[in-house]
Amino acid sequence: MTEQYQRYGIYFAPEPQSALGQFGNAWLGRDPETGNVLHRPEVTGLSKADIVAATTSPTRYGFHGTLKPPFALADGMGRSDLEVAIADFCDVTAPVVCGPLMLKPLGRFLALVPTEPVADLAELAASFVRKLDDFRQPEDEAAMNKRRAAGLSDRQEENLVRWGYPYVMEEFRFHLTLTNKLADDQLTFMRDALSGQVVPLCEAAFTVRDVCLFGDPGDQKPFRLLKRFSLNG
């Protein structure tokens, strides 16, 4: 029987043997596909304890960029149904090529973010949000109020009500999260420390050739990479 999870998300996750995958998984200390604990990298100026303390949230989610945010399955929908729908969509969808990645603060956390052109990547994410929406259990009012506590624009509120998450469609910004929210001095220090590490990852075009289904087992346990789907269009 296919194992069920509390929530499912559609993510980009680099192949674990790629330079980006090796860096990101080691930085967060975990391979989300195998669940194996990985040795943290040696970074000048940062101890292993510094890295662990700065990455507790992204470590739980695994190294990834969100395309469709995590959602509970609607009544009558199963994981196998979802996998079939993802595979069907990916079979007619082409890979996406963006400009190189750059290390950038987003609010109070650090991330790797693709540079222009990014419109095709935004459209890929929007298509997943739209086409898989029938699989999503609508958010209850308590969950939506937690999102609202951060302060939402009118458009973000519309997205929350329609799609279950504020930061989709034109509010979407693809990013590969590297840290928790940090104080200003921590953010600057961490960015300086990581700059040299990510230079080799920020030279070539950033390409999304496949997407992954991730599962949230609940109880604050780590997300797992459940299946990878090639973009074959």
Mean pLDDT (the chain, rounded)? 96
Give Cβ neighbours of residue 102 (< 8 Å, ≥ 6 apart): 112, 113, 114, 115, 202
Q: Is the pLDDT of residue 1 over 60?
A: no
pLDDT value of position 150: 87
Q: How confident is the model at residue 2 (pLDDT cuts 50, 70, 90)?
A: low
Q: What is the pLDDT of residue 153?
A: 96
Q: What is the DSSP string of 82-106?
A: HHHHHHHHHHT---EEEPPEEEEEE
Q: What is the 8-class DSSP label of residue 135?
A: G
For residue range 185-227, list pLDDT tens digits in order.
999 999 999 999 999 999 999 999 999 999 999 999 999 999 9
Per-residue pLDDT, 4: 74
pLDDT tens digits along 122-144: 999 999 999 999 999 999 999 99
pLDDT, position 27: 98
Write the pLDDT tens digit of every residue in 164-179.
999 999 999 999 999 9
